[in-house]
């Protein structure tokens, strides 16, 4: 019988460690807005590696991915597909953005785009799209944390209270330390997740089936449909290849242009740090392999949870595993949620203030006033995401797939900003508006799609057509010499 007291104690100890690690960096960073948003542009390879890896592998990875494997089998393979390819473009995009950040003082993605095209309205549109993508992404993290706390306390602490407790703590250290607090807690959480995932991914199948190979042999014999790609839909029917492929494609294209990830180009110490981070990043993808194994372990488990995303905590609490091991798993699941949630919350507030207010409306704020505004928005963003988290009833993976629809619309804009001299500012603005409108329409009306592919793919197609077509039609002055020269000139 698992001792809930031991499990809760380990989880509480871990949360305390995160709070301490997250608070300390606030004493070292400067009091400027650049210090709070971009860490004084001084992050080395260790922080960059973990702040990118741990930020991406979130509650979606620790709870949503095994939930998808448990409920829909081979449909979960798409996670490995886009994870291996998605960060490669940042090897080229990141250094160019870093040069521009140092040359012009940029700390956000939209600030850079608006400056290139001299259209502050672009920053406002990008800020609103970012919020549309970030709020469900942050809600995903909160819901995951709530699942874990509810399960380990045997339902004594409901999901809504667990999410509120964990993200109240996150709010404290992000308010205090900004991006450096995010970076150091992500380092702690990333190391913890990587080690724990492999220990659990090998140990649990051994306890339940005698080993990983034996587990898959039993699934192949008893539930062979769960091992065949592209997997199943939520209703149990076969998931079509067009939708599977488009989910991978949209995720690959959108991966590097997530605003909170792209902003790390402005925090890196130098360009080589960015390139080395991209090269090392695929090692973080190894974290997903044992997590998916754990999800498949639930397919033939003796009982099932109420929701697919709860399969991992359900197995942990009903297998007779040592209390210490269960406690460490719960701490790891909280780490997965927090390591993304803190970065998302910080980025959303920073973007809304720097892009949605200062850049779009050309408002000047002192460094102290900007930090205060970001902190106020941070509280509001967390509260809004919390409301969505406690009311949403679908799967965590579906929340993430929705969020990729809006964010992938940034890809044509970023490539045009950094590489295409002929791109026209009005074309960029209208392409973003058209792309997000088409995406939202098909996301809300999936039955109207001509072909069953991801709604974001329709938006992306419309986006590119408008951007390219209008850029060739509209006349523009060649005003981008300094901008593009700064982007192309290596600084190290």
> What's the confidence (pLDDT) of residue 393?
75
Q: Measure the CA–CA gap between 423 and 418, rounded to whole angstroms.
A: 10
pLDDT for residue 42 is more than 60: no
> What's the confidence (pLDDT) of residue 36?
53
pLDDT for residue 348 is more than 70: yes
Query: Exposed, middle or buried by CB within 10 Å (0-12, 13-18, 19+), for 54?
Result: buried
Between residues 285 and 47, the one the model is more confident about: 285
> What's the confidence (pLDDT) of residue 184?
66
Cα 300 off chain centre by: 30
CB 229 within 8 A of CB 317: no
CA-CA distances (angstroms) from residue 337 to 31, 40, 379, 384? 28, 26, 18, 17
Tokens encoding 386: 């919390």
Per-position b or e across 121-143, b if 16+ CB within 10 A of its CB:
bbbbbbbbbbbbbbbbbbbbbbb
The answer to whether residue 492 is domain-embedded is no
Please give the average per-residue pLDDT across 258-262, as a whole number.
86
- Give residues with Cβ within 8 angstroms of 297, minimum separation 6: 204, 205, 208, 209, 215, 315
Q: What are the tens digits of pLDDT across the range 372-398?
A: 888 888 889 989 999 988 888 776 667
> What's the confidence (pLDDT) of residue 2?
47
| Domain of 230, in residue numbers | 4-422
Between residues 101 and 191, the one the model is more confident about: 101
> What's the confidence (pLDDT) of residue 479?
62
Q: Measure the CA–CA gap between 222 and 478, rounded to whole angstroms.
A: 65
The answer to whether residue 202 is domain-embedded is yes
Between residues 12 and 242, the one the model is more confident about: 242
pLDDT for residue 296 is more than 90: yes
Between residues 445 and 172, the one the model is more confident about: 445
Place of tokens 């305390």: 16
Q: Measure the CA–CA gap between 480 and 483, rounded to whole angstroms.
A: 5
The answer to whether residue 312 is domain-embedded is yes
Q: What's the structural domain count of the chain?
A: 1
Tokens encoding 142: 């909160």
Between residues 45 and 81, the one the model is more confident about: 81
Between residues 434 and 170, the one the model is more confident about: 434
CB 406 within 8 A of CB 129: yes
The answer to whether residue 467 is domain-embedded is no
> What's the confidence (pLDDT) of residue 125?
94
> What's the confidence (pLDDT) of residue 1?
44
Claim: this prediction has a pTM higher than 0.85: no
> What's the confidence (pLDDT) of residue 461?
97
Q: Measure the CA–CA gap between 203 and 207, rounded to whole angstroms.
A: 6
The answer to whether residue 445 is domain-embedded is no
* Mean per-residue pLDDT over the chain, rounded: 83
- Dihedral of CA atoms 406, 121, 258, 44 in degrees, nearest 10, equals -170
> What's the confidence (pLDDT) of residue 391?
87
The answer to whether residue 449 is domain-embedded is no
The answer to whether residue 72 is domain-embedded is yes
pLDDT for residue 58 is more than 70: no
Nearest to 389 by CA among 170, 69, 79, 124: 170
The dihedral region occupied by 155, where left means phi > 0, alpha psi between -120 and 50, and beta the remainder, is left
Q: Measure the CA–CA gap between 50 and 56, rounded to whole angstroms.
A: 10
Please give the average per-residue pLDDT across 244-262, as a whole number.
90
Q: Indicate the SS3 state at residue 3.
A: coil
> What's the confidence (pLDDT) of residue 418?
94
Q: Measure the CA–CA gap between 323 and 7, rounded to whole angstroms.
A: 6
The answer to whether residue 431 is domain-embedded is no
CB 166 within 8 A of CB 84: no
Q: What are the tens digits of pLDDT across the range 2-19?
A: 467 787 788 788 778 777
- Give residues with Cβ within 8 angstroms of 412, minimum separation 6: 431, 435, 460, 463, 464, 467
> What's the confidence (pLDDT) of residue 195?
81
pLDDT for residue 134 is more than 50: yes
Among the residue ranges 63-67, 442-446, 473-477, the one predicted with the least confidence is: 473-477
**CATH number of the domain where residue 39 is located:** 1.20.1730.10
Using a pLDDT cut of 90, give the percent of the chain over it. 31
Q: What are the tens digits of pLDDT across the range 424-438?
A: 999 999 999 999 999
Between residues 408 and 314, the one the model is more confident about: 408
Instruction: Determine phi and psi for 268, rounding to 5 degrees.
Output: -70, 145
Tokens encoding 355: 């892009």
CB 230 within 8 A of CB 241: yes
Between residues 468 and 148, the one the model is more confident about: 468
Between residues 24 and 313, the one the model is more confident about: 313
pLDDT band at 334 (very low <50, low <70, confident <90, very high): confident
Q: What are the tens digits of pLDDT across the range 136-153?
A: 888 888 888 888 888 777
Please give the average per-residue pLDDT across 260-285, as a whole number.
85
Between residues 50 and 404, the one the model is more confident about: 404
């Amino acid at each position: 019988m698992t001792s809930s007291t031991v499990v809760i104690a380990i989880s509480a100890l871990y949360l305390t460690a995160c709070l301490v690690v997250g608070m300390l960096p606030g004493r070292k960073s400067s009091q400027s807005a650049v210090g709070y948003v971009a860490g004084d542009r001084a992050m080395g390879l260790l922080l960059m590696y973990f702040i990118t890896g741990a930020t991406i592998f979130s509650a979606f990875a620790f709870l949503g991915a095994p939930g998808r494997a448990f409920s829909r089998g081979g449909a979960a393979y798409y996670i490995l597909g886009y994870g291996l390819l998605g960060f490669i473009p940042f090897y080229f995009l990141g250094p160019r953005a870093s040069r521009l950040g140092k040359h012009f003082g940029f700390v956000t993605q939209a600030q850079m785009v608006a400056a290139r095209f001299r259209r502050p309205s672009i920053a406002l549109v990008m800020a609103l799209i970012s919020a549309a993508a970030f709020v469900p992404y942050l809600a995903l993290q909160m819901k995951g944390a709530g699942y874990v706390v509810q399960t380990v306390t045997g339902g004594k602490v409901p999901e809504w209270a667990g999410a509120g407790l964990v993200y109240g703590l996150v709010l404290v250290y992000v308010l205090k330390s900004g991006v450096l607090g995010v970076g150091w807690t992500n380092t702690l959480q990333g190391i913890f997740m990587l080690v724990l995932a492999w220990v659990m991914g090998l140990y649990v199948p051994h306890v339940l089936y005698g080993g990983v190979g034996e587990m898959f042999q039993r699934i192949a014999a008893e539930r062979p449909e769960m091992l065949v790609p592209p997997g199943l839909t939520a209703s149990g029917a076969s998931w079509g290849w067009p939708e599977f492929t488009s989910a991978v494609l949209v995720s690959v294209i959108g991966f590097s242009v997530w605003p909170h990830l792209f902003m790390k180009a402005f925090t890196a110490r130098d360009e080589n740090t960015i390139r080395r981070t991209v090269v090392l990043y695929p090692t973080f993808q190894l974290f997903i392999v044992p997590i998916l194994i754990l999800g498949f372990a639930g397919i033939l488990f003796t009982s099932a949870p109420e929701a697919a995303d709860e399969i991992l905590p359900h197995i942990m609490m009903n297998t007779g595993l040592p209390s210490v091991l269960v406690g460490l798993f719960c701490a790891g699941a909280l780490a997965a949620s927090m390591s993304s949630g803190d970065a998302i919350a910080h980025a959303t507030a920073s973007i809304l203030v720097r892009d949605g207010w200062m850049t779009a409306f050309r408002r000047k704020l002192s460094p102290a006033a900007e930090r205060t505004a970001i902190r106020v928005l941070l509280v509001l963003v967390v509260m809004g995401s919390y409301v969505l988290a406690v009311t949403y009833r679908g799967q965590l993976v579906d929340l993430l797939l929705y969020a990729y629809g809006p964010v992938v619309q940034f890809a044509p804009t970023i490539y045009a900003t950094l590489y295409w001299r002929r791109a026209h500012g009005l074309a960029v603005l209208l392409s973003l508006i058209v792309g997000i409108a088409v995406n939202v329409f098909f996301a809300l009306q999936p039955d109207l799609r001509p072909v069953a592919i991801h709604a974001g793919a329709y938006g992306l197609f419309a986006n590119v057509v408008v951007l390219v077509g209008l850029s060739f039609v509209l006349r523009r002055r060649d005003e981008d010499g300094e901008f593009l020269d700064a982007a192309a000139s290596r600084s190290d």
